[in-house]
Structure 1
Amino acid sequence: MHDLMLLCFLLCLASTADGGEIVNGEKVPEGALPYLVSVQNITGHVCGGFLISRDFVMTAAHCDKLNPTNVVVGSHNLNKIHKKMRIKFKKCKHGHFQQTITGYDIMLLQLNKRVNFNDRVKPIRLPKRGMTVKEKSECTVAGWGKTRTGGEQVKELQMVNVSVISLDQCQRVWKKYDGILPDGVVCAGGYATDKGFCQGDSGGPLVCGGTAVGIVSFNRGYICDYPNMPNVYTDLSKYTNWIQKKLKEKKCFI
């Protein structure tokens, strides 16, 4: 009964609270997130991503539909990109991916050349298999995505703190409105708060305690006027075997 009352309270809060900017966050100091990369196509930024080794970037599988062609490493302001920061790649998209709502929203980008690590270009740690993040843990999400529904993407990197939502709670809320969530996800932000991610942030990492635990996957109906529904991320701890296999094989395709 207590859980039911709490759920009703949170649902009411989510439906009546004013929606704010996607992140209600702040600009990231230059060089503070050296693992973040901009995944781009011929028109510019389309998704986020993050460096996990000298020759691999992690992003979301659904970003593939935007026809990405290169990544930009070491960037903070997308108006200030040098030729040497751009790197082409080959793609390793998870073979079971169909659409975000069915899961497996993960893709590796094998860079055409190895990057040199420095203060502005560094990889981020990945979770161990089976690692779980406690409910209400404070994590961060960052990107160059829109700051509100229908808004423009930003040029300077933005970041916000979000709290992890229990999977049971997340599933109950999503089931009430849009059906069952896929396996292998983690939820944080977007619900009972005005902070979260938006379109253009896809593929970026959910970072908890210095570890990339999730990949930005989807929200509800491209609506970023939170609070409304929990943001959903691919849970990287469920894909460690697949990741290690691809890193070892180094056989991604165009």
Structure 2
Amino acid sequence: MMYHLQKFLLLHLLTCLRQNALGSEIIHGKKAPDDLMLYMASVQNNKGHVCGGFLISEDFVVTAAHCDKNESTHVVLGTHNLKKVDNGTTTDVIKRCKHPRYVNRTCGNDIMLLKLSRKVQLNNRVQPIQLPRADNKIKVKGKCRVAGWGLTKTGGKVVDVLQVAEVPIVNPAVCKREWKEIRVNLPDDVICAGGYDTNKGFCQGDSGGPLVCGGTAAGVVSFNMRKNCDYPNVPNIYTDVSKNLAWIKGILKKKDC
């Protein structure tokens, strides 16, 4: 029995590692208003911006687990313009809490919490975003928002000013079918939005940013199809925050992972 279980887990791991899907920038978006999306975080290392993220409490930021490879050292909060960064907008990361079941972004659990070195001051420039309920339901074709500082087209350039785009929710059955046609079996803890039947979505550079639906952080930018941002192709994939709530709340409660 144990042998068969180990064999199954090994096959699952190999399947995940073979599936090659990457992604994350805002396509056909517009400049985000300065007085909105005050939860947005630029996750950075010593070379600058590497991923997006969003503030959920005074001392924790959510991003994608696959961003861990960039070894983030700090986050920028309180400005939408990455040319306007100083000691007042920068907070060090002292611990990266990657989901314990994360293996590869196409296998699910692509979510990570960053513990900040200090509690950030909440004001008219910095505010946390509300988390969804565990029974969160998102209407198919409902409109949500995604934002980030990534590329604006395939092979394009990154931007200094936060961009935001409105993206429609894609039917989960349709999404799974489209991805299966390119030999990727989607995990269960994902939301599909944008990148399909629309010219809007994300591409490289915005991983970890939020999918905002009804004022809550419903999803985390995870991956698209092999860095191809020439939409429409296949739906963009986000980690479903509502299916990771117990894990998130456990970390927030003990202030550690």
What is the TM-score normalised by the length of structure 2?
0.88
1:64 is paired with a residue whose SS is: helix
| CA-CA distance at 1:182 after TM superposition | 1.0
* Equivalent residue number for residue 16 of structure 2: none
* Equivalent residue number for residue 127 of structure 1: 132
- Structure 1 residues 1-254: aligned runs within 5 Å: 22-89=26-93, 90-252=95-257
Number of aligned residue pairs: give it: 232
| CA-CA distance at 1:22 after TM superposition | 4.7
CA contact (8 A) 1:22 1:225 kept: no
Distance in 1 (CA, whole Å) between partners of 2:35 and 2:98 is: 29
User: For residue 104 of structure 2, what is the amino acid of its counterpart?
Assistant: Q
CA contact (8 A) 1:141 1:206 kept: yes
| CA-CA distance at 1:82 after TM superposition | 1.1
User: Once the two structures are superposed, what CA deviation does each residue of 1:32-64 show, in whole Å capped at 9, x if it has no partner?
Assistant: 110001000111000000000111101100000
1:39 is paired with a residue whose SS is: strand
CA contact (8 A) 1:140 1:160 kept: yes
1:45 is paired with a residue whose SS is: strand
Distance in 2 (CA, whole Å) between partners of 1:91 and 1:227 is: 34
CA contact (8 A) 1:188 1:230 kept: yes
- Across the aligned residues of Structure 1 and Structure 2, the Cα RMSD in angstroms comes to 1.1
Distance in 2 (CA, whole Å) between partners of 1:199 and 1:63 is: 12
* Equivalent residue number for residue 8 of structure 2: none
Distance in 1 (CA, whole Å) between partners of 2:178 and 2:31 is: 31
Runs (5+) with no aligned partner, structure 1: 1-20
User: For residue 204 of structure 1, what is the amino acid of its counterpart?
Assistant: G
Distance in 2 (CA, whole Å) between partners of 1:163 and 1:188 is: 5
| CA-CA distance at 1:178 after TM superposition | 2.7
What is the TM-score normalised by the length of structure 1?
0.89
User: Once the two structures are superposed, what CA deviation does each residue of 1:131-154 show, in whole Å capped at 9, x if it has no partner?
Assistant: 120101100000001001111110
User: For residue 76 of structure 1, what is the amino acid of its counterpart?
Assistant: H
